[in-house]
Chain A
Amino acid sequence: MKFGVLQFPGSCDEVDAVEAARHVGDAELIWHRDRDLQGADAIIVPGGFSYGDYLRAGAIARFSEAMESVIEFAREGGPVLGICNGFQVLCEAGLLPGALLPNVNLRFTSRQVRLTVEQGETAFTRACTPGRELSIPAKHSWGRYHAAPDTLAAIEHGGQVVFRYAPGENFNGSLNDIAGVTNEAGNVMGLMPHPEHAVHELTGGSKDGLCIFRSMRLAVEGVAA
């Protein structure tokens, strides 16, 4: 099984994402100018400051050639994970509902946070232990999740909220403590905290991020829970 990790000018966490995905399958970088997704079974849009966050975070990256292919890939049901800046790119591209706004404290904040798994049966959480909190590092300045009231109601009702910040952990002001959401079809997820940085106890504070990559592999291999 192969993960394709997009690389834009200004991406920061793409190499970490490749290393993390290699715990679970093969992984390769995909240059933003390439339309060819190189036979990837799943796509990761990584964290960082693509195009310097100019205009708005993710606003320019979403128009890249690679993203055009990813949009098509997603429309055909392929699994796509957007992490941090990747989440922003997917919202800008219309693949996910809502938008990410500046943190309420107006500062970049880097902190290990606890997340609750709200939906255990998705393509991204099937391998996560139900009821267990995940300890994952978050580090961003534009992470406040926002959606219009009717959109928010729809995604809550439709089970699209996959991760929430545990009580007390929501430092960016996201509505409903939302940390990660999927699209309606459930094959695209955006997550603000960084699971790729939580795959080693020694450097990640936990290995809790691995279950997300494992879940994606299960989804690709068509294995039922």
Chain B
Amino acid sequence: MSGAGVASLPTLDDAIALGLTESEYELICEKQGGRAPNQVELAMYSLLWSEHCAYKHSRKLLRTLPTEGPHVVMGPGENAGAVDTGAGLVCAFKVESHNHPSAVEPFQGAATGVGGILRDIFAIGARPVAVLDSLRFGEPGESARARYLLDGAVAGIGHYGNSIGVPTIGGEVYFEAPYEQSCLVNAMALGLAPKDQLVRSAAAGPGNVVVLFGASTGRDGIGGASVLASAELGEDEDKRPTVQVGDPFEESKLLECSLELLELGLIVALQDLGAAGLTSSASEMASKGEVGIDIDIAAVPLREADMEPFEVMVSESQERMLCVVEPRNVEAVLAVCEKWEVGGAAIGFVTDSGRMRVLRDEELLADMPVRALVDDCPLYDLAPAKPAQPLYEPPRAVLTGEESPGETLLALLGSPNLASRRPLFEQYDSIVGSRTIRRPEEADAAVLALPDGSALAVSIDCNGRRVAADPRRGTVAAVLECAANLACVGAEPLGATNNLNFGNPEKPHIAWQLSESVAGLGEACRALDAPIVGGNVSLYNEGATGPIYPTPVIGMVGRLPDGGRAGRLGFVNAADTLALVGPFAPSQAASELAKLRGQQLPDGLPEIDLAAAAEALAAVRDAVRSGTLSSAHDVAEGGVAVALAESAIAGRLGAEVTLGEGHWEALGPDGDLPDPGWPEGSAAAALFGEGSGGILVSGPEPGLRALAARTHVRLIGRVAGGRLRVSLDGHELIDADVAELAAVHAEGLRELFA
């Protein structure tokens, strides 16, 4: 076999420069039958054995998560997971991250993140119907870089989603100092397919043809692997773009082409090309099918003339798909590609060798066992240890604590984490496809119509600061928040996806965050019947100033039987009764107010009664479905006062509210359901304290009273007029004009997008 051109055999130093350890390199040599890998082989191993592709530090943990359930049709391991919607359709969905590219070039990083997750959806045969995004940046008030990244990422997500005609229907964004150096850009997508049309990615049938279709292959994303370039080309470093550039128009054609190929029954297996390009797609297809694959790089359509073999194999050029086709169908496949003006080329064969081989015409350039590449990467155990010291600096204080409750409410509503996201979501087309029943800011979850009158609800959530305070309980809280958002529109969970964003897992304190978080994730998903059907892990998110907050982003999909009865978060009728429902026990621990006051994170969060919270959610969900509630809104950041303000602003109606033991009417089911408790003597904790399991509802009084058969209900007042008046323990603490609250809420982020 030739040595792939003039380059000499790479050394251990090259392997280390590519991110492999010495023992991993030795293991590779062993897998190669006792010989050192050549340039092409080393490039491919280094990518497939990277953390990003192999999940070396997380795979063992991920195996502890619940992945099965009555609605699960496709679990983890494929391009996306899928659940049965009950309407004759399955819903495919997944979340993925594109954190590191977005920190380099936020527009393209975010855009290609959306492109990548969309491809994962149509790679299993589902038509994408929605996108959501979950973003984290540093403090916009303090950092020009944070503002730049935010602007670029939002523009990039909008550009890609809008151009390809998939609505962006929801999302979240948080601003915290620990994300300053390592921003987070996670993109979630959903798609729909008829039940029997999901396709898997396992390559099958030795003798079948491998066809690459979509955009041509260039040098996008080669970046780190460029250390392997032969000396002559090494001088032209600027010719190697490290940023992938996305083309949504190309992907729109690719999507239609792929779905038509599936509809016509012309392909055996389908896989999209993402991280590690041809290398990962081809070898993963072969691995799943327990077959071999031969790729001829001379047949790959190239964008640049003089690409080296390893470059062709590791290129991350966007908008490309790989499929396996029976020989008699190849011509028809290429004809469909031509119809959609998409490039297509037969580039190889499925074999029974169990080996991944790269050739250039007849010349063999690389030869590796598929198992070695895909399955035999060593997995590492974490060595978790709870940190003895706080890991994060306290946030910079913007409030002294001397402010009145009214002033505090205004400060919270105008703060970057709570202000209206309208300046962001107005850059997204949230309605194309005509399925969107609840648009951003209309309800706690986005809602999409299904053809039979039922609907899907979807939410994406995580408060990283709370996870930092308590990785296990903070993660339980994130899952609960997602489920609560679904309950508030009347939906029950079908399944969930997660993107674990953490620092360097080789450090014991990060390993501790990760293992505690995954434990909490498993616990909560089991309690709420929301199995994980797929997800992503992004590690090593840390810079010189330290790690990000541990951020396990949860995306959850649910179903409601009648889309016409989807809940909303804004007040609707003056004189509706108001109630706080569920085992809500507010505390200042890791709250948004504590952050604005510059307080250090506490060590641990209060315990969460998962079973009681789940029952409260179920009670609210059923009430929304039966139409007995006017509004339902999960109490989250900023506590009860902010939840009241948000519902008032959305409904353009005020409220008269009385809080406090002995001042509201407290009801609950008979029996041993423990009282949730309420903070004594602290107005700040009562008004702005946070915790799980609390939902603010409005509606005719009988419907609210009826909830007490299942969960705690505190009747706290009624919807009324144009002012929000809140008294605590008999003292009026807030008396605000709803229009003024709305103005402050609307302005908070607006100047960032002027």
Contact = CB atoms under 8 A, between A and B. Distances in A.
A binds B: yes
Interface of A: 9-13, 15-16, 19-20, 48-49, 51-54, 107-111, 137, 139, 141, 194, 196-197, 199-200, 202-204
A184 to B, nearest CB: 32
Nearest to B253: A9
B429 A16 contact: no
6 contacts: A9-B341, A16-B434, A49-B162, A49-B248, A51-B249, A52-B247
B564 interface: yes
Given A107-B155, A108-B162, A202-B437, A9 B249 contact: yes
A12 B435 contact: no
A15 B430 CA distance: 16
A109 B155 CA distance: 11
A141 B250 CA distance: 20
**Interface SS of A by simple majority:** mixed
User: Which of A10, A19, A202 has the most B CB atoms < 10 Å from its CB?
Assistant: A202
A11 B412 CA distance: 42
Nearest to B155: A107
Contacts of A12: 162-165, 429, 432
A109 B154 CA distance: 12
Which of A12, A15, A16, A141 counts the most B-chain CB atoms under 10 A from its CB?
A12
Interface string B153-168: 0010011001111000
Nearest to A106: B155
A137 B449 contact: no
A139 B449 CA distance: 20
B128 to A, nearest CB: 12
A110 B427 CA distance: 6
Interface of B: 155, 158-159, 162-165, 247-250, 252-253, 340-341, 425-437, 449, 563-564, 753
B546 to A, nearest CB: 34
A194 B247 CA distance: 25
Nearest to B247: A52
A31 to B, nearest CB: 9
A214 B341 CA distance: 36
Contacts of B249: 9-10, 49, 51-52, 54
Contacts of B164: 12
A174 B155 CA distance: 22
A108 B434 contact: no
B341 A202 contact: no
Contacts of B434: 16, 19-20, 196-197, 199-200, 203-204
Indicate the member of A19, A110, A196, A199 with the most B CB atoms within 10 Å. Answer: A110
B452 to A, nearest CB: 14
A203 B439 CA distance: 9
Contacts of B247: 52
Contacts of A141: 162
A9 B431 contact: no
A137 B159 CA distance: 18
A163 to B, nearest CB: 19
Contacts of A202: 437, 449, 563-564
B427 A109 contact: yes
A54 B253 CA distance: 15
Contact of A10 (B163, B430, B436): B163
Top 8 A-B pairs, shortest CB-CB distance: A12-B165, A52-B249, A49-B163, A139-B429, A16-B434, A10-B249, A108-B427, A110-B429
B341 A111 contact: no
Contacts of A200: 434
A204 B438 CA distance: 10
Nearest to B432: A12
A12 B162 CA distance: 8
Contact of A107 (B435, B449, B753): B753
A16 B426 contact: no
A108 B252 contact: no
A108 B753 contact: no
Looking at B162, B425, B435, B563, which has the most chain A CB atoms within 10 Å of its CB? B162
Given A49-B162, A49-B249, A13 B426 contact: no
Contacts of A9: 249, 252-253, 340-341
B437 A108 contact: no
Contacts of B165: 11-13, 48-49
A203 B435 contact: yes
A203 B437 contact: yes
Contacts of B430: 110
A11 B432 CA distance: 11
Contacts of A203: 431, 434-437, 449
A214 B751 CA distance: 42
Q: Report which residue of B248, B434, B435 has the largest number of chain A beta carbons within 10 angstroms of its beta carbon.
A: B434
A11 B162 CA distance: 11
A6 to B, nearest CB: 15
Name, among A48, A53, A54, the residue most crowded by chain B CB atoms within 10 Å (CB to CB): A48
A141 B435 CA distance: 22
Nearest to A20: B434
Contacts of A15: 433
Contacts of B252: 9-10, 49
Nearest to A16: B434
Contacts of B159: 108
A52 B247 CA distance: 8
Contacts of B155: 107
Contacts of B429: 12, 108, 110, 139
Contacts of A204: 431, 434
A212 to B, nearest CB: 16
A123 B647 CA distance: 43
A127 to B, nearest CB: 21
A108 B159 CA distance: 8
Given A9-B253, A109-B426, A109-B427, A16 B433 contact: yes
Contacts of B162: 12, 49, 108, 139, 141
B435 A110 contact: no
Contacts of A53: 163
B199 to A, nearest CB: 22
B152 to A, nearest CB: 12
Given A9-B249, A202-B449, A202-B563, A110 B437 contact: no
A199 B155 CA distance: 29
Given A52-B247, A107-B753, 18 more contacts: A9-B252, A9-B253, A10-B163, A12-B163, A16-B432, A16-B434, A19-B434, A51-B249, A52-B163, A107-B155, A108-B427, A110-B425, A110-B429, A139-B162, A139-B431, A196-B434, A199-B434, A204-B434
B162 to A, nearest CB: 6
A10 B427 CA distance: 19
B258 to A, nearest CB: 14
Residue of B249, B431, B753 contacting most chain A CB atoms (<10 Å):
B431
A111 B753 CA distance: 16
A189 to B, nearest CB: 21
Nearest to A11: B165
Nearest to B564: A202
Contact of A137 (B158, B250, B428, B431): B431
Contacts of B426: 107, 109-111
